[in-house]
Amino acid sequence: MNLRAVFVAIQAALPHMGPGGRIINTGSVTADRAAFAGSAVYSMTKGALAALTRGLARDLGPRGIAIYTVQPGPTETDINDNEALRERLRPLIALGGMGRDTEIAGLVAFLAGTEAGFITGAALTIDGGYLA
């Protein structure tokens, strides 16, 4: 699901995209670091998404379409609204706390804008220093 759905969505969108188009995938910092036991398969799919993004950058660049993967780290969401988990993660984050959805959205908005026109094929990690 983490990879196939993105692949199928990109295939469906491409016939409708022209120069200046942007594809912004949502990955995970786990593409670069599987910090906990049991996350190997999930991490593999997110790593494959980053690889797909790099490969498609070469394929889509001549059409003027840029593609990115945003890789959030630990972020305050309903899915991890567990204080025990947050306490376990905080010491691993250089900035000392979990990210907010608005911070992730800010990066996505930047990538969708003209200022990011010369960026493509990149996996951009936004993790408060989790990987540092």
> Catalytic pick from 2, 26, 42, 76?
42
Q: Is 42 a catalytic residue?
A: yes
Label residue 86 exposed, middle or buried (CB < 10 Å: 0-12, 13-18, 19+): middle
46 vs 26: CA distance, rounded Å: 9
31 vs 47: CA distance, rounded Å: 4
Which residues are known to be catalytic? Answer: 42
